[in-house]
Amino acid sequence: MRSQLSSILALAAPLLSAVSAANPSVVVVPGAWQIDPTWEDFMALLTDAGYPTSKVTLPSVGISETGGLAADVDATAAILDPLLDAGKDVVLLAHSLGGLIAGNAVQGRDYATRQAAGKTGGVIQTIYLAAFMCPEGVSLFNMLGNEWFSWMNVTDSKVYASADEIIDVGFNDMTLAEAEKWASYTTWTSEKVFTDASLYSPWADNVTEAYIHTLLDGALPYAAQLQMEALLPEGSAVYNINSSHVAFLSQPDTLLSLIEDAIAVGVAAHA
C-alpha cells in the first residue's frame, strides 16, 4: 500500500510542478505589528494550492525604529526583483499597513510597464486585504485623521497596539484562547512608516487591483475600507468576508477561495 502511494505521488509530482509553474507567484506584504509565525499557515495553503508564496520582512515592524516607507519598499523589492528578473508573474497580497508598502513597491514593476520595456514577468495584480490605499502625498497617519486610534500607543518613535484592546480590535472573531495566542505574536511598528507620505498611486496608472473587505474588522472598519475601494480602477474585483482584521488566521479556507478567484481575474486581465 505504501509503495503504491509513493508511486502515485511520484506520477503526480510533475503535474503539480507544472501547475505551480503556470500560476503566478504570491508575495505577502504583511501589516503592522505582525511577526512570525502569523502568516506561515496561510502561506502553506497558498503554496499547496499551486501558488509559490513568499513574504516580506518589513524593517519597520519590530526591527528598526527609524525604518520607514523607503526601507520597507526596499525590503519588498528584494523579494520581488529576483522573481521578476526570472520572468515570473507575481501577485502582491497586501494586508493592512502592507497596502501602503505594496502600492509604492509596484511602481515600475507592474506587468504593463515591464512589457513596454521589453521585459518578461511583472506584478500582474495587487490584492488589498483590509489594506490601506494611500494616494501619492498622503501618509498613513493622514488617513487615520491625523490622530492615533485610541488603541495605539506611541513611545520613543514606536507605535504599539494596546495590550488591553488588541484582542477586541484585531482578533474579535476567534475564541479567547486563539486570540491570545496570535496576539502574543505582535510587536511595535515604527512611527516613521506611519508618517512617511506615499510616493505613488498605482490605481492612477490602472495597475490591476482587487480589494477584500473584512466585515467584522475592528482595526480598519468596513466604512474606512469602502473609502479605499473607491480608489480602485473601474472593473476591479471586490469581495467581502465575514471576518475580523486577520481573515488569514480566522477564516483561511474562505479567504483562500476568494484570493484564488481574484488571482484568476488578474491573470485573465493579462492573458
For residue 24, the SS3 value is: coil
CATH superfamily entry for domain 25-269: Alpha/Beta hydrolase fold, catalytic domain (3.40.50.1820)
> Is 36 strand, coil or helix?
coil
pLDDT value at residue 53: 98
pLDDT of the residue at 154: 97
Query: Would you state the pLDDT for residue 21?
Result: 53
pLDDT at 245: 98
pLDDT at residue 251 in the model: 97
Quickly tell me which residue has 515604527 as its cell.
Answer: 190
* Domain chopping of the chain, boundaries: 25-269
In sequence order, the 6+-apart residues with CB closer than 8 A to the CB of 114 are 84, 120, 121, 122
Whole-model pTM: value is 0.91
pLDDT at residue 209, as a whole number: 96
Burial 16-46 (b: 16+ CB within 10 A, else e): eeeeeeebbbbbbbbbbbbbeebbeebbebb
Averages of pLDDT over runs of 10 residues in the chain (271 residues) are: 44 42 92 96 98 98 96 98 97 98 98 95 97 98 96 97 94 97 97 98 93 98 96 94 98 98 94 79
End-to-end CA distance of the chain: 43
